[in-house]
Structure 1
């Protein structure tokens, strides 16, 4: 029996999401040709340790879904653990307060050095496999690309939310919620991965 390759698993996940190579490549910051090479197995994913997590996030897959198609000895599966600060909670439902001091730390692969984590409260992002209580890992990026999940502080809600960014500069989520970004809103960054702990340290 043939084992499914990483490229095959990626292509299948992308077609299930009805995404073209161009659309996924744009979210990942790759060329369409570069993504085609990864799907066909002509190019590996060694150069960017976060790319597999970003693929999973873009395709709405639970963390680790694509990772398990890489061989055990693959460098991305061997990443050392580091700790990143958990900045506070972020609403995927009601907006939460502005994140301030790190209240906790989360162990993640060293690919995420320089990122921060937020704990999600609310279930309005279930279609992106983000559940209440999950931690989202966010890279600081004031100008994320459309299609990415972003953490933003919204002036009129006086709180932080985790939502999907659209081409028309709106934030959207599952419950038909939509918000047009204004000058007074601040985008903190884009999500690169979701971490679901088996047993949360505290509620």
Structure 2
């Protein structure tokens, strides 16, 4: 339906891919990999991610692509704000905006993820295509594992940190996958899922190759 009623003639029509694996599970990592495979097959150069409930500002991708053009790095980063919202029937009311994602360079990124998945763009011509996948058995922190793997051994550009390019939405109704105080009875199950994936990440991060370049700092 989306592709049939595409009103933005100045933009390329979206490609819709139906995914079926006949399993009842969280398929987010598999879906991301399917999308990246389609991206590679289409020979598109720049790769970026955006969760359905988050936002990018209109200047976001021009800022990141221009930065990559100057630095010749493989990945460019900028700053994403966090908006706390109350989910209402017809709209979301933003009652607080903050900047919780603090870091400055690759060393900070290796310590802790301060770069949400929509805070960066990847130049796929400078990345080994075999690295463009998400761990299918990870349903949380899969974005950090992916980022560590591609950023660890490739030059990164952090020069646009401080330039706000998007917004990470945190709802007050507990609907985010990240555990919050609003989770209620679902909180314990969420915590179990997160702990499993934290252990998975810890077991793998020591195997990730890390190289440093001038643009990383």
TM-score class, shorter: under 0.3
TM-score (ref. length: structure 1): 0.27
Higher helix share: 2
- The structure with higher relative contact order (CA 8 Å, sep 6+) is 2
Higher strand share: 1
